[in-house]
Each structure stands twice: as C-alpha cells, then as structure tokens.
C-alpha cells in the first residue's frame, strides 16, 4: 500500500472486540481497522478499546462470561496480536514509546477500556489495568453502573462518590478519563474533579446534530479549558440526517468556531459502528477527509493538528508512566 505523508492518531476503535467476537487478527482483516492499512500513514497511532457485556450477541454468546473474563480474554488477544505483529506495531503506554515506535517505522497501539464494568468499577482493578498498560477508560458505556449515569440510562445521574474517586485515581495514575457516553451531569462532575486534560474519544457536536451522545458547546469549551481533546465520531447516526464527509466537516467547523484548533481530534468509532459517511469504508479512507479539508482551504498545519498532533500532545502530557 502506498504511504501518504499524513500522520493519524485516532482515539477510539473496537477492532479488538470485533476480532474477539468474530475471529481473525489485527494484521489483516475484513473490518474497518487493521495494522496493514494503518501503514498507509506516515505515523499512525490508534487507541484500541476493550469492551463488552456478558450477554448474547449475533455472533457469539457471551452470557456465561464475567466482566473480568471479558477483559482478560480481550487483553490476551491484544497482547498476542502485538507479539505476532511486532514488525508492524508496538504496544505503547506513553507518548515517548509512541515516538520510538514511529522512529522504527511501526504503528503505535494504545489500549483503552470502554465501560468500567470491565474493571468491576474497582479502584484495585483500575490499578491492575494501568499496570497492564491500559491508558484510557470510559467510566461508562451505555448502561448505568456504580460510577455514573450515561447518555442512554439515567441521564440525570452524575458521578457517584465511587465514580469521583475513580476518575481522581485515573488522573493520579496518568490515565485519560474518556467522557464519551457519560451523562451530562457526569461530564460536569469529571470537569470538576480533574485539574488536567481529559477527552471525549468519540463524540460530535450537539449544536450540529441534536443527539445525547454529542457534546454541548459548553462541554466542548470545558474540554478546551482543561487542554483536552474531542475525537470526531464517524458513526453516521451521530453525524446528521445526511452522513457524508461534508456533514462530518460541519462538526469540525463548528468546534473550530468555538476556538478548538488545539482541541479537535479524530475518534472514528471504527469497527464499533454499523454505518460510516459515504466514501469511508475503513481507516484507509481517512485521507479523503484530509484532502477535503485542504480543498476547503484549511491549512495543512491545522489539518495535521486535527489528525495527529492534538491527541498526541494530550497523550504525551497525561500518559507519562
């Protein structure tokens, strides 16, 4: 595959969970993300999320699993894939490790957890996950848990006492708190508890498309104030009535109008969504978004910041251990 002089750091994909459900590996597969296609970009980093509920799925029945088993089995799959594909990618825990991977011509693979249920919402399990290399956690997915309400369930409920302790512990450990999926009150509780950067790995602008999964302007501004980032979600259902590149860019443009030049990033939700904008079938097509932005007369320096530098800056600041 021809390599482009484009750098890419994407904040969220579900490739590990999809491989856990369906089989296959990360080197080459028929999903949205694999290591070979990531090689299209000069420097490429990706947060791979561990995820899952102990319930039946159309592909595999997980109802006999515990959350801990799901976490450990997906983690083992990720570790195996990193070892088997050490020529292409490195399991990274810090910005410095990512830079070392790039210098060796490899992709940087970071690990996140989507939904703290996989950690039993436990401070001890959080410490264990950090020691194992996890560097970002969503306190919730769609289901309410011991930490907080969500966009989808009990949206009026914010962080519990346990949830506040959890996100404070994450900050001390050098982990990124991911507020995508959190309830609005939960978001504001995170902003109150944390002094440093946090992020919304895969969220859009509610002012552009009114959906509870998307961020209000006030929330986006709070992330600016914390020097965090927001990753543009490419799931068609969160973009708007017409899901194409121009609609995706409308979200970016709105955020830029709010002063988000250092705050906007990418978090495509690849392999975690059923429909993408027209013209995007996987990570290999994100250069089309790059080219469309340049056609709109955005500077290459700004587009490079959105595609790579903003998220890289935050990871390098927060994930130092």
Q: What is the pTM of this model?
A: 0.97
85 found inside a domain: yes
Residue 14 DSSP SS3: coil
pLDDT in tens, 246-267: 999 999 999 999 999 999 999 9
The 3-state secondary structure of 121-177 reads CCHHHHHHHHHCCEEEEECCCCCCCCCCCECCCCCCCCCCHHHHHHHHHHHHHCCEE
2 found inside a domain: no
203 found inside a domain: yes
49 Cβ contact list (under 8 Å, min separation 6): 12, 13, 14, 16, 17, 112, 113, 114, 272
233: DSSP letter: P
1 found inside a domain: no
Structural domain of 209 = 7-318
Instruction: State both tokens at 314.
Output: 């935050």
- Count, residues in the chain: 321
Domain tally for the chain?
1
Q: In the prediction, which pLDDT does 54 show? A: 87
pLDDT in tens, 172-231: 999 999 999 999 999 999 999 999 999 999 999 999 999 999 999 999 999 999 999 999
Facing residues of 137 across strands?
113, 177
299 found inside a domain: yes
214 found inside a domain: yes
CATH code of the domain covering residue 21: 3.20.20.140
Q: How many CB atoms lie within 10 A of CB 227?
A: 16
Does the structure show a pLDDT above 80 at 3?
no
243 found inside a domain: yes
Q: In the prediction, which pLDDT does 56 show? A: 87
Mean pLDDT (the chain) is: 97
286 found inside a domain: yes
């Amino acid at each position: 595959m021809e390599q482009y002089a484009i750098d890419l750091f994407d904040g969220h994909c579900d490739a590990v969970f999809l491989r856990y459900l369906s089989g296959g590996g990360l080197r080459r597969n028929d999903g949205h993300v694999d290591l070979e296609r990531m090689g299209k970009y000069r420097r490429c980093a990706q947060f791979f999320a561990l995820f899952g509920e102990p319930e039946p799925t159309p592909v595999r029945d997980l109802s006999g699993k515990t959350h801990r088993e799901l976490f450990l089995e997906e983690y083992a799959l990720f570790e195996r894939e990193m070892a088997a594909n050490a020529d292409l990618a490195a399991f990274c825990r810090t910005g410095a490790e990512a830079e070392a991977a790039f210098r060796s011509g490899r992709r940087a693979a970071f690990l996140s957890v989507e939904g703290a249920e996989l950690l039993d919402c436990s401070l001890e399990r959080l410490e264990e996950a950090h020691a194992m290399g996890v560097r970002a956690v969503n306190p919730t997915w769609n289901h309410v848990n011991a930490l907080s309400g969500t966009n989808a369930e009990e949206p009026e409920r914010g962080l519990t006492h346990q949830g506040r302790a959890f996100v404070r512990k994450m900050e001390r450990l050098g982990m990124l708190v991911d507020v995508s999926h959190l309830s609005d009150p939960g978001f504001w509780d995170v902003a109150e508890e944390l002094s440093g950067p946090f992020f919304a790995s895969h969220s859009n602008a509610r002012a552009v498309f009114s959906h509870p999964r998307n961020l209000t302007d006030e929330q986006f501004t709070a992330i600016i104030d914390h020097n965090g980032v927001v990753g543009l979600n490419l799931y068609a259902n969160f973009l708007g009535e017409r899901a194409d590149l121009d609609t995706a860019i409308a979200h970016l443009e709105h955020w830029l109008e709010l002063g988000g030049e250092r705050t906007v990033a990418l978090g495509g939700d690849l392999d975690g969504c059923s429909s993408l904008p027209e013209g995007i079938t996987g990570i290999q097509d994100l250069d089309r978004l790059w080219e469309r932005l340049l056609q709109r007369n955005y500077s290459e320096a700004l587009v490079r910041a959105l595609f790579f530098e903003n998220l890289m800056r935050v990871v390098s600041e927060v994930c130092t251990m």
